[in-house]
Every structure is written in C-alpha cells, then in structure tokens.
Amino acid sequence: MSNSALFYQAGVTLPLVSHGKGIYLWDTQGKRYIDACSGAITCSLGHQHPSVTAAMKAQLDKVAFSYRTQFESQVAVDLGDVMVALTEDRLQRVFLVGSGSEAVESAMKLARQYFYVRGETQRKHFVSLRPSYHGSTLGALGLTGYQPLEQPFEDLLIPSIKVPSPDFYRYTEVDISTHVTRLLQQTEAAMAAAPEGSIAAFVLEPVGGASTGARMLNREYLQGIRALCDRFGCLLIMDEVLSGIGRTGEWFAWQHWGICPDILALAKGMGAGYYPVAAIMAKADLVDTVQSAGGFMHGHTYAGNPLACATGLAVIQAMQDENILDNVREQGRYLRECLEQMKVRYPVIGDVRGIGFLQGVELVQPDAGKTPFPASFNAFSRITECAKKRGLLIYPRRCLNGMAGDHFLVTPPLITTRVELDEMMECLDQALKDFSQQL
C-alpha cells in the first residue's frame, strides 16, 4: 500500500514521475519508459512539445482565466472556428468544457433541453451499448456498460437502455453482415419497447476505447443506427472523447464512414495532456432551438478559459503544421502489421483490432479457441506489469462487460516514428515472452 495521502482506484505504490520528452517518461530513479498508451490515451503530441508549451507560456503572460459570463476570449473564438472547420462545417456549434465526462453529460443535457423546449418533455431516455465507457460521473456512468464500474452505484444511476455492441471477433453468425443485421433488429426491438416518443438520443463510441479494447463498428452498423434514430425521432450522439482529434487517422473517427452525429463529445486529444480542455459540437439548428428559448441551462467554471483554449488551439495547429494525420495513417498501418505478426507468434493473442494509433490486443488462453482467461488470473494486470518492467507503458482492461476478456491498448503519441515503433514493439515482444512464461 502507498504511504501517500492520495488515493485512486488501487492502493499500490507507483513510481514517482520525474520528466518526459517526446514519447518517453522518466521516474525519479532514472528509469525510462516508452509511453505506448499516451498516458490515458491523452498525450497525443508526446511530452514537452515546443510549440504547445510556447503557446501556453505566451497565454500565461496575458491572462490564464476569465469567466465565460463576463468575457469572451479570442483564443476561444478561434478554437471554435477551427474545430468547426475540421468537421467541414457539418457541426457548426461548439460548447467548451474541461473533461470527457463533462462533455458527455453536456451532450446529454443539450439533447434533453432541445426536446424540452420543443414540448417533447417525455423524451428523457438514452440508449447505449454494452460494453461501453462514457465517463465516471453519475450521468455518464448511467450510459456506461461496464459492470465493475457500475455495480457500487447502481441505486444512484439513471440507467440507459443497454443494447449489445457489435463484436467482430466473437460473433457466431455466418458473417459480419448477418451479425450486424441481428444486432440492429435487437436494438430496434429494445427501442420500440420503450414508451412511445421517450428516447432522447442514442449514444455510442464509433471506435471503442478501454472498455472494449478498440472494438470496431462498421458503415453498415452506423447507417443502421442512424436510420433507427431517424425512425424514432431521437438524436445520435457520438462519444469521441478517446477516438477524436486525429487518433484514428482522421480528425474524428466518424469521418471514416461519413455518418455525422447530431452531437459530438470530445476531450483527451484536444489538450493532448497539456491542459484539460474538452467540448461538445452540435448541429446549428439544434443549438439555435435551445438558444432561442433562453439559452443552454448548463455550464462549468473552467469552460472556455483562455489557457485551455490557447492549449487546444496550439495542439491543432501543431498537428496541421506537422502533418500528424499522415503520420498516424502510415505508421498506424505499420503498427497494426507488427501486432498481427505478434499474434502469429504468441498463442495468447486472440485478436488485434482498431484503426490508426488506436489498437487493441485481446488475450486468450492458448490452444483454447477464443476462451478468455479466468478473471482470477488477472491477465490484464500481469501483462501490464510485464511491460512496465521492460520500460513499456500499455493500457489494460477487460472487454466483456468488465468481467472477462483481458486486453490492452497500444495507443502511442501521434508523433511516434517507425524507429520508435520498432523499439516499442521490441519491448512488447519481451513482455509477451515474460507473460507467456507465467502460464
């Protein structure tokens, strides 16, 4: 147990961080780590990026904080304009907040107020996938489908209508298209079972994160969900807190399929780990409806503060100047090839999935088909510890509702080069050897 007054999810003693540079971190004992998961899939430009830190220092020399009801700041205006341009003007309004959970709850409240001011006050239910992750605050946790996180708070939550997520690894139908068709039928039935006209929005991650091990959707599924939303008169909210801002090789994961949400939640990569900044983006007619009825009844103290906005603006500018999306596409393909090769060499790897620099590796019992490890074996924590001893940071969880299906994410900073990926893969190879020996 740690002797620190601080407490988090587990009372383990952790190394003290000293400093970081690029894709590397050092602890106070001098050990170097490769940040192969960008912290919490957040540090997309690595550590000590010169143009981002320079922009933050320049803003600090002007003003760090001003309150949104008293002042607007030019950097906030500019950030909003830049973000709208990244969607090719398909989402025209931006509401700035400070974290992913705040963004998801803001999206929920905007959807609810939109229908409220239209006189559709019965629309108060949300639909989401199981498994999924949408945040840890009570509203966002109500959307989340991950049993260990939900269980202690079930009597406090307003639960969403949970429908099964596509699983392109463990599906049992004859092909993926049939699998998608069956899930859409189940989803339609679940939505139809709700009181008529009571659904406000369907919420999903276009590419899964830590709770699914980068589980993928496809165009057929997303088109089907869009059609269901239109049929039931509800909105489509996409949670890109993790997958947004270049992580998948496009600015937003939805752009791979061309199916734009009504509301988009963003965080993590917006500030790239340099300062907390997050946002929701929405279609103009939706926001205008709310604004014309007295404004959005919502807000946070640090929403849109100048230091956060200067950081977000500098992150996007650096990504554009350095052609980061091209790097993610090219090196993401190489990363995937390396992981697929490891799958051939290591029977403990059952599946590799994801896109760009958002890749998941699911672990299974060797020579047992797709059988997950028993939960008591704690495979996800064992592989993480093996990697950490080798100086490699990966991000672990379980993808079968949090109860089984150990996996880890490989989500390096978007600046990572091929040479650095080779070093990363060498460490992962050694970690997998160490893990396999424990079997």
Q: Of the candidates 35, 45, 48, which has an alpha carbon nearest to the alpha carbon of residue 328?
A: 45
Model pLDDT for residues 89-103, shown as the tens digit of each residue? 999 999 999 999 999
CATH architecture designation of domain 17-48+323-437: Alpha-Beta Complex (3.90)
- pLDDT for the residue numbered 97: 97
Packing angle, helices 418-437 and 379-389, rounded to 10: 120
User: Are 52 and 311 within 8 A, CB to CB?
Assistant: yes
- pLDDT at 2 > cutoff 80: no
pLDDT, mean of residues 48-76: 96
Model pLDDT for residues 328-382, shown as the tens digit of each residue? 999 999 999 999 999 999 999 999 999 999 999 999 999 888 999 999 999 999 9
Same fold, 17-48+323-437 and 54-321: no
CB atoms within 10 A of CB 293: 14
pLDDT, mean of residues 141-145: 97
* Model pTM score: 0.97
Residue ranges of domains in the chain: 17-48+323-437, 54-321
pLDDT, mean of residues 316-325: 98
User: Are 343 and 352 within 8 A, CB to CB?
Assistant: yes
- pLDDT at 4 > cutoff 90: no
CB atoms within 10 A of CB 403: 13
Mean pLDDT estimate for the chain: 96
* Percentage above 90 pLDDT, the chain: 95
- pLDDT for the residue numbered 368: 82
User: Are 261 and 272 within 8 A, CB to CB?
Assistant: no
Band (pLDDT 50/70/90 cuts) for residue 68 is confident
Band (pLDDT 50/70/90 cuts) for residue 78 is very high
- pLDDT for the residue numbered 11: 63
Enclosing H/E stretch for 240: strand 235-240
- pLDDT for the residue numbered 21: 98
pLDDT, mean of residues 10-21: 88
Tokens of 327: 């790097």
What is the dotted CATH code of the domain comprising 54-321?
A: 3.40.640.10
- pLDDT at 267 > cutoff 80: yes
Say how far apart CA 389 and CA 153 lie, in whole Å.
Answer: 35
DSSP states of 294-312: T--S---TTTT-HHHHHHH
Say how far apart CA 360 and CA 133 lie, in whole Å.
Answer: 15
